[in-house]
Each structure stands twice: as C-alpha cells, then as structure tokens.
C-alpha cells in the first residue's frame, strides 16, 4: 500500500505574517477577495486586521459573515450565491475552523455545481475540479483547517455533522499569525488547544498512522504541552500564541492524511445535537476514549507521555505508561479549566443511545485504533456523563 501526504501550497508563520497577503495575491493574479468570516470576529475587530491590509494594497473585497460555529448547509448555500454575485476570484477565510470549513464548502460547490445539495459531499466525494482558491487566516489555534483536506458542515435537518474529505479543498495559502489569535478568550483558547491535542493523539494512534505522520503528531503533542497553559493564562503572550499556532498546524499536517478516531465521532454527535463547541466536546471525551483505546496502542502511550513531559517513562511498565499518558492529558485539561462531565453543558442522559448510534456511523469511526461498536461507545458516553 502507498501512503499519501497532501499539504497546502504555501504557508507563512509569525507575528505580522498577514502582511504577506497582498504580494501573494498579486503573484497569483487574484483581483478581488470574498472574505468569509463570522459576526463576532467583525464585532471584536479581528477580521479588520486583514481587511485593513487589503484596503492599503487596493485589493477590493466583499465580506460574507453568515457563518455560525458548527456551520450549516444554509451557511454554505447562501455563501455560494453571494460568492457568485461578488465577482471575486478568491476566497479569503478569516476565522476559526467554522469560517475556513465554510469557505472550503463554498469553493468546492462553486466549482463542482453538481454537488450543490452539499449533503452529497459527505465522506469522500467524486468532485472533479479544485475549489475556488482559498487563502486561510486562522484566528483560533486548534482545527488546522488551513492545512487539512477536511471540512465539517452540519446538516440541521438530519441533525448530523458531515465530515467531508477532499484534497481539492486545500487552501493555496495559509497565514498563521499569532496576532490574529491573541483576542481569543480563555475558554476558547483552552478548548481549541485541546482540539489540537486530540488531533495529535488520535492521529498518532489511528489505524493508518505511519512514520511520517507520527513525526508530526509527536511534535504537535510536545508543543501543545509546552505552550497551551501559557496561551490560556497569559493571553498577550505572543510566543505562546505562536507556539500553539505552529503546534496545531503540525498536528494537522499529520491527522489530515491519516484520519482520527472516536473522540471526534463522539464530539461530532454532541455538536450536531447540542451545538457543543467542538474543542470542548473533544477535550472532555479525550481521556475516557484514551483509556478505552489503550489495549490497541502498543507502546504508543509511552511516547505520548514522554511528549506530554512525563519523566522516567522508559522505566515504566505498560500499565504505568498508559496510565501516565491519560493522567497527563487529564491534568492539562483540568489546569486549563475544561469541563469534566457531559452534563455540565446540558447533555441529557436519555439522548445517549441516539448519540452513540450517530457516533458509530461517523466518518472518523473506522480510523479508531480499537475496533468498536455502539454498546462500547454508549458505555464511554455514560462514563463521561
């Protein structure tokens, strides 16, 4: 079997990196930007950091802000229409995973109109044309949507988060600028950072993991353990913001190419039913699923523990290093104030069987290192409840 690696074309990292947008746009002959963002980012003057640069460079643009967290098919469809009217020739996504994912769906549907129902894009769709070119400027440090081949759209009618996997959606240019992330409040920094840690851990233990993606995931884990607490507790610490921006991107380089596991499957169900923020759902479920998956992970938890900063892992036996890896994740999660039980954000016990069924059917489930079933997933939800 051949292993495939797909990464985005060009990326810039560092304070002030958004200043590179005009020259990169010019080198690609882009003439007008369709800026996909959300209303909160406009309210908090985050998107304006980028549009100011467009204005200074005389690049015309139009703003599309109909993006909600856990974006919907409606967000995509009105975006496709607005893009067509705008006469823009590239999409400039400024936001978290929700804005970048919506951009990917708009770009794919625009150039592959036979998928205009959006639903048919779930899983691996046979699109023929590349997306409208996307420039991605993440404002959270978690999803790595700027370097992944995935986007996640909620089907509100079927109450389902659809994971769409398509290398044709990958941004041509990504700008990871810590100043775009500095305004994140504490809870959002914590949750999105734990999303990144979940990507790194699930991507490291997933069935398809191999030496190249392991390299990314282990470095991602190390950098997240190093920088996430400071990013949470010292919001203006741009070194920590930059560290997290790089860490989540590195984790994305890996997981995008090998898949995830049932932390994500279970988080997607919570997102679809309760609109739970993606990072919060992952963070809460991660230790429970790690315990469940441990028997199917060989020596990998030793390396997770090592990269989380646990000392003396080489002298530990299997049970000890597995426990140490899970405890290190719990400790980080508690330190940064992640809720520890599902009921804390409104999940209902009677919904758990339905959630387990949905999670089992999720696109991420086959990648889980341990073969699973609906009863086991329900058991994990019950533990986390």
Ligand X SMILES: NC(=O)c1ccc[n+]([C@@H]2O[C@H](COP(=O)([O-])OP(=O)(O)OC[C@H]3O[C@@H](n4cnc5c(N)ncnc54)[C@H](O)[C@@H]3O)[C@@H](O)[C@H]2O)c1
Residue ranges binding ligand X (CB under 6 A): 38, 40-41, 44, 46, 69-70, 95-99, 101, 139-140, 142-143, 145, 148, 150-152, 181, 183-184, 188, 192, 195, 278-279
Nearer to ligand X (CB atom), residue 41 or residue 54: 41
Nearer to Fe ion (CB atom), residue 38 or residue 195: 195
> What letter would DSSP give residue 142?
S
Least distance in Å: CB of 100 to ligand X?
A: 6
Here the tokens at position 28 are 């690609």
Distance of alpha carbon 310 from alpha carbon 328, whole angstroms: 7
Nearer to ligand X (CB atom), residue 260 or residue 305: 260
Distance of alpha carbon 310 from alpha carbon 321, whole angstroms: 9
Nearer to Fe ion (CB atom), residue 51 or residue 148: 148
* Residue 259 Cα to chain centre, angstroms: 12
Nearer to ligand X (CB atom), residue 50 or residue 377: 50
195 contacts Fe ion (rule: CB under 5 A): yes
CA contacts within 13 A on the Cβ side of 231 = 34
Contact call for residues 307 and 324 (beta carbons, < 8 A): no
Length of the chain counted residue by residue = 385
Instruction: Give the ranges where 144-277 is alpha helix by DSSP (H).
Output: 178-181, 186-205, 211-233, 238-258, 262-274
Contact segment (CB under 5 A) with Fe ion among 120-128, 161-169, 187-195, 231-239 equals 187-195
Partner that binds at residue 192, options ligand X, Fe ion, none, CB closer than 5 to 8 Å by kind = ligand X
Phi, psi of 102 (to 5 degrees): -60, -40
217 contacts Fe ion (rule: CB under 5 A): no
Distance of alpha carbon 377 from alpha carbon 383, whole angstroms: 10
Least distance in Å: CB of 363 to Fe ion?
A: 12
Partner that binds at residue 107, options ligand X, Fe ion, none, CB closer than 5 to 8 Å by kind = none
Contact call for residues 36 and 91 (beta carbons, < 8 A): yes
Nearer to ligand X (CB atom), residue 145 or residue 324: 145
* Residue 155 Cα to chain centre, angstroms: 18
Here the tokens at position 289 are 């699923």
Rounded to 10 degrees, the C-alpha dihedral 215/216/217/218 comes to 50
Partner that binds at residue 72, options ligand X, Fe ion, none, CB closer than 5 to 8 Å by kind = none
Least distance in Å: CB of 313 to ligand X?
A: 28
Least distance in Å: CB of 315 to ligand X?
A: 36
Least distance in Å: CB of 255 to Fe ion?
A: 8
Q: What angle do CA 229, 231, 233 make, to 5 degrees?
A: 65
Least distance in Å: CB of 256 to ligand X?
A: 6
Least distance in Å: CB of 101 to ligand X?
A: 5
Nearer to ligand X (CB atom), residue 140 or residue 257: 140
101 contacts Fe ion (rule: CB under 5 A): no
Partner that binds at residue 140, options ligand X, Fe ion, none, CB closer than 5 to 8 Å by kind = ligand X
The residue ranges that bind Fe ion (CB under 5 A) are 195
């Amino acid at each position: 079997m051949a292993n495939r690696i797909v990464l985005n074309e060009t990326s810039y990292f560092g304070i002030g990196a958004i200043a590179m947008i005009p020259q990169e746009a010019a080198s690609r002959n882009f003439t007008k930007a369709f800026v996909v963002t959300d209303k909160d980012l406009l309210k908090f003057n985050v998107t304006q950091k980028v549009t100011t640069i467009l204005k200074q460079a005389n690049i015309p643009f139009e703003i599309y802000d109909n993006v909600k967290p856990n974006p919907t098919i409606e967000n995509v469809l009105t975006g496709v229409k607005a893009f067509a009217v705008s006469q823009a020739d590239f999409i400039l996504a400024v936001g978290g995973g929700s804005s970048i994912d919506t951009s990917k769906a708009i770009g794919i549907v625009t150039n592959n109109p036979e998928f205009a129902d959006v639903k048919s894009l779930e899983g691996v769709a046979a699109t023929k044309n590349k997306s409208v070119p996307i420039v991605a400027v993440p404002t959270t440090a978690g999803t790595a949507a700027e370097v992944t081949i995935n986007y996640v759209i909620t089907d509100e009618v079927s109450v389902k988060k659809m994971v769409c996997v398509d290398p044709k959606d990958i941004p041509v240019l990504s700008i990871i600028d810590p100043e775009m992330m500095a305004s994140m409040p504490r809870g959002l920094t914590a949750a999105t950072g734990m999303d990144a840690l979940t990507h790194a851990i699930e991507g490291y233990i997933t069935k398809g993991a191999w030496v190249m993606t392991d390299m990314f995931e282990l470095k991602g884990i190390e950098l997240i353990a190093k920088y996430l607490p400071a990013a949470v507790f010292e919001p203006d610490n741009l070194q920590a913001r930059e560290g997290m921006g790089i860490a989540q991107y590195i984790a994305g380089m890996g997981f995008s190419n090998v898949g995830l596991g049932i932390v994500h499957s279970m988080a997607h169900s919570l997102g679809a039913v309760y609109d739970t923020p993606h990072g919060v759902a992952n963070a809460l479920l991660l230790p429970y699923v790690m315990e469940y998956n441990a028997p199917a992970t060989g020596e990998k938890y030793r390396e997770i523990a090592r990269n989380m900063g646990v000392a003396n892992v080489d002298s530990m036996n299997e049970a000890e290093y597995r426990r140490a890896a899970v405890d290190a994740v719990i400790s980080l999660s508690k330190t940064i104030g992640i809720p520890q039980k599902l009921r804390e954000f409104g999940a209902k016990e009677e919904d758990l069987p339905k959630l387990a069924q949905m999670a089992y059917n999720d696109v991420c489930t086959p990648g889980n290192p341990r073969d699973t079933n609906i009863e086991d997933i329900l058991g994990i939800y019950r533990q986390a409840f």
